[in-house]
């Protein structure tokens, strides 16, 4: 059974700081990995998706990396802003016994950026 | 935002009653998913669909059934609601995309309370 872990569960940083969120997974047979943002009481917003053949993806101040051999992905946020405060979830896409693909989610890291 | 709506957005029901949640999409995506989100458990897959009348069970399917008679609609039914099914339910959609990414997009969620 695939497991996805995110540590720490919560993080508080001052505005302007660069930060890294961590995601680890137990099964290296990962099809791709997707990072999401969730604001309180809202749905999930897709931020970045990294295919298993890729090493990283960038969007604006966000950069996500994927290292299958070590079972790790990181989400780097540059020059953090109070508006970045949210819960960030990673999810690995795997092929299941049925031959179909599904996401396995981590529990998320709750980020608070202090002004 | 991907065109995904969920109804109702909030519902309070009594133990033992049947409940149906609806997910509607306007993106003509092939794949649809139902998740539940609970503190300490992250998002867990309940059921998913790979096309009209093509559904399969996810990680936590006991006590739930689904139906998909049209591409745009995916219904989740709690046969006889229990307090353990109090949760936030999210619908998601995906399709292969140009690079076969199967990137998932989420609806706004339904908060269900079973008393």
pLDDT in tens, A46-73: 999 999 889 999 999 999 999 999 999 9
Nearest-CA neighbor of A74 among A47, A97, A114? Answer: A47
Q: In the numeric block, which tokens belong to residue A112? A: 């608070």
User: Across-strand partners of B92?
Assistant: B33, B106
- Predicted confidence (pLDDT) per residue in B94-115, tens digit: 987 666 778 899 999 999 999 9
Instruction: Give the pLDDT of residue A33.
Output: 94
pLDDT in tens, B66-84: 999 999 999 999 999 999 9
CA within 13 Å, CB half, B75: 11
pLDDT the model gives residue B103? 86
Alpha carbon distance, N-terminus to C-terminus of chain B: 33
Chain B nearest C-alpha distance from A104 (Å): 7
Q: Give the pLDDT score at B1.
A: 57
CB contact under 8 A, B106 and A44: yes
Task: Pick from B42, B56, B92 the residue to mutate for testing the A interface (most A CBs within 10 Å).
Answer: B42
């Amino acid at each position: 059974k695939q497991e996805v872990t995110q540590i720490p569960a919560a993080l508080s940083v001052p505005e302007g700081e660069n930060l890294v969120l961590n995601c680890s997974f137990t099964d290296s047979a990962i099809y791709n990995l997707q990072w999401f943002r969730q604001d309180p009481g809202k749905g999930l917003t897709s931020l970045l998706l990294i295919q298993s053949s890729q090493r990283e993806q960038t969007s604006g101040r966000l950069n996500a990396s994927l290292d299958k051999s070590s079972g790790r992905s990181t989400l780097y946020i540059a020059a953090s802003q109070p508006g970045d405060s949210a819960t960030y979830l990673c999810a690995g896409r795997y092929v299941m016994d049925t031959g179909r693909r599904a996401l396995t989610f981590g529990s998320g890291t709750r980020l608070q950026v202090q002004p | 935002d991907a065109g995904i709506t969920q109804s109702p957005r909030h519902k309070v029901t009594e133990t033992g009653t049947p409940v149906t949640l609806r997910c509607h999409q306007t993106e003509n995506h092939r794949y649809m998913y139902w998740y539940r989100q609970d503190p300490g458990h992250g998002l867990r897959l309940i059921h998913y669909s790979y096309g009209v009348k093509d559904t399969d069970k996810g990680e936590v399917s006991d006590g739930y059934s689904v139906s998909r008679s049209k591409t745009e609609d995916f219904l989740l039914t709690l046969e006889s609601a229990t307090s353990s099914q109090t949760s936030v339910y999210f619908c998601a959609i995906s399709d292969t995309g140009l690079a076969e990414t199967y990137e998932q997009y989420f609806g706004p969620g339904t908060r269900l309370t079973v008393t």
